[in-house]
Homo-oligomer: A and B are copies of this chain.
Amino acid sequence: MHKKIVRLTVSDVRFPTSLEQHGSDAMHTDPDYSVAYVVIETDQGMHGYGLTFTVGRGTEIVVCAVEALSALVVGKSLEEIVSDFRGFYRLLTSDGQMRWIGPEKGVIQLATAAVLNAVWDLWARSEGKPLWKLLVEMDPRKLISCIDFRYITDALTEQEALDILVKAQTGKQQRVDQMLKEGYPAYTTSCAWLGYSDQLLKQLCTDALNDGWTKFKVKVGADLEDDIRRCSLIRQMIGPHNTLMIDANQRWDVGEAITWVTRLAEYKPLWIEEPTSPDDILGHAAISKALAPLGIGVATGEQCHNRVMFKQFLQASALQFVQIDSCRLGSVNENLAVLLMAHKFKVPVCPHAGGVGLCELVQHLILFDYISVSASLDNRMCEFVDHLHQHFRSPVVIQNAHYMPPKDPGYSCEMLESSVQTHQYPQGQVWKNLQ
């Protein structure tokens, strides 16, 4: 029986996180964590939920873009879409008029992600499986047929991608069982946002250590003396054997990044994240080369806007950790392309998460990566931020600093209706109360 999509609605949902400096970093000093939240409905009353993450102002622009894409989705059946998902992806990203305002970047790509996340959610629900399981159990040829290889065949051909997936069939069931038992390793960013006081930072660090966390990320980049004090403090708190990462959120120019991070090298960070412009592939390559002798890698990706950019970061050895984002790239389709390229170039994937719902979504992708692509946990971990999960129908489950595989059907995107209602911007009660 065909499931025809008859309605798409989109909401501007914002959380006033800036009031307490949650999420603050060197470039985003006052974020109000937000989503453009999409619900699609079939003629049989089935729903798919999707979202893309934003940080406040500008969410209305993404909402406007989702509305523009809506005409390409409503009227299609799920079966029609997934029987040629590559074609449907191309339809959304290469519309003869709308691609001008991208292409495949910025607002229009964020909107594409929100819409396609809802389609993937609907697909997984219609199969009665959590998304990671839908992917893991899907025939490799079918998976490949979801990927748009345009502009990446010089780095990865369809045949190479297929070979990777076929090879990783070996031992798959063992890895599924392992994940169900142990979960996927995570690190925490919740302890050290830039706007937090030293006292709060100490307290949160102590709590996290007690909860079993062993990997910690610190925001840096606004003031060097501050950074030295904060890194020193955290390294003291966590001891020499736990892992420290630092994140500058694009604050520096290339030369400045090298100088600054060199000053922080004594605190032994595993990586420096987003040292400079997310568009600067050659800049990241120069920074990678300069920091390699210090044992510090470069991580980036949360604002890497498509597979063509990730392709080049890999080709240029410009990163040592690939940070995919479930809502910046064009949904699962484009993330599959990046996971496969990262595997070919032997670079570990450590997803970006946090925000609103990013943990809920990306856990599915990284489970698939381990089970069906990389078959390795070396140097791999998924970001975790303990924030806003209470607004989701199926929130992440963390046990002993590991993501436990979701069990509910779908892509874990569904928000509580009450949360959506009260946080709608500007008419929701939360925002009315703040006026």
Q: Is the CB of A316 within 8 A of B282?
A: yes
Chain B residues lying within 8 Å of A96, measured Cβ to Cβ, are 27-31, 55
Question: Which residue of B61, B98, B102, B286 contacts A68 across the interface (Cβ within 8 Å)?
Answer: B61
Known: A105-B105, A279-B306. A97 touches B151 (CB 8 A): no
Q: Is the CB of B97 within 8 A of A31?
A: yes
A132–chain B nearest beta-carbon distance, Å: 27
Tell which of A307-315, A334-342, A398-406, A413-421 binds the partner: A307-315
Chain B residues lying within 8 Å of A255, measured Cβ to Cβ, are 153-154
Taken together as a complex, chains A and B put the C-alpha atoms of A65 and B282 apart, in Å, by 30
Chain B residues lying within 8 Å of A280, measured Cβ to Cβ, are 151, 308, 311-312
Q: Is the CB of B281 within 8 A of A98?
A: no
Tell which of A106-114, A138-146, A199-207, A225-233 binds the partner: A106-114
Chain B residues lying within 8 Å of A150, measured Cβ to Cβ, are 253, 277
Q: Is the CB of A61 within 8 A of B101?
A: yes
Q: Is the CB of B308 within 8 A of A279?
A: yes
Most buried by B among A56, A61, A309: A61
Q: Is the CB of B58 within 8 A of A61?
A: no
A57 touches B (CB below 8 Å) = yes
Q: Is the CB of A282 within 8 A of B315?
A: yes
Taken together as a complex, chains A and B put the C-alpha atoms of A31 and B101 apart, in Å, by 12
Q: Which of A's residues lie within 8 Å of B, judged by CB? A: 27-32, 54-58, 60-62, 64-65, 68, 94-110, 150-154, 250, 253-255, 276-283, 286, 303, 305-306, 308-309, 311-312, 315-316
Chain B residues lying within 8 Å of A65, measured Cβ to Cβ, are 58, 61, 107
Chain B residues lying within 8 Å of A152, measured Cβ to Cβ, are 253
Q: Is the CB of B308 within 8 A of A151?
A: no
Q: Is the CB of A101 within 8 A of B97?
A: no
Question: Which residue of B28, B61, B97, B98 contacts A99 across the interface (Cβ within 8 Å)?
Answer: B28
Most buried by B among A56, A277, A303: A277
Chain B residues lying within 8 Å of A94, measured Cβ to Cβ, are 27
User: What are the 9 closest A-B residue pairs judged by CB atoms, nearest first?
Assistant: A106-B106, A56-B97, A107-B107, A57-B97, A154-B254, A58-B98, A151-B277, A64-B64, A279-B308
Taken together as a complex, chains A and B put the C-alpha atoms of A278 and B99 apart, in Å, by 12
Chain B residues lying within 8 Å of A60, measured Cβ to Cβ, are 64, 68
Taken together as a complex, chains A and B put the C-alpha atoms of A28 and B308 apart, in Å, by 20
Q: Determine the residue in chain B with the shortest Cβ distance to A276.
A: B151
A42–chain B nearest beta-carbon distance, Å: 25
Q: Is the CB of A108 within 8 A of B308?
A: no
A324–chain B nearest beta-carbon distance, Å: 17
Question: Which residue of B56, B101, B104, B253 contacts A62 across the interface (Cβ within 8 Å)?
Answer: B101
Q: Determine the residue in chain B with the shortest Cβ distance to A55.
A: B100
Q: Is the CB of B54 within 8 A of A58?
A: no
Chain B residues lying within 8 Å of A56, measured Cβ to Cβ, are 97
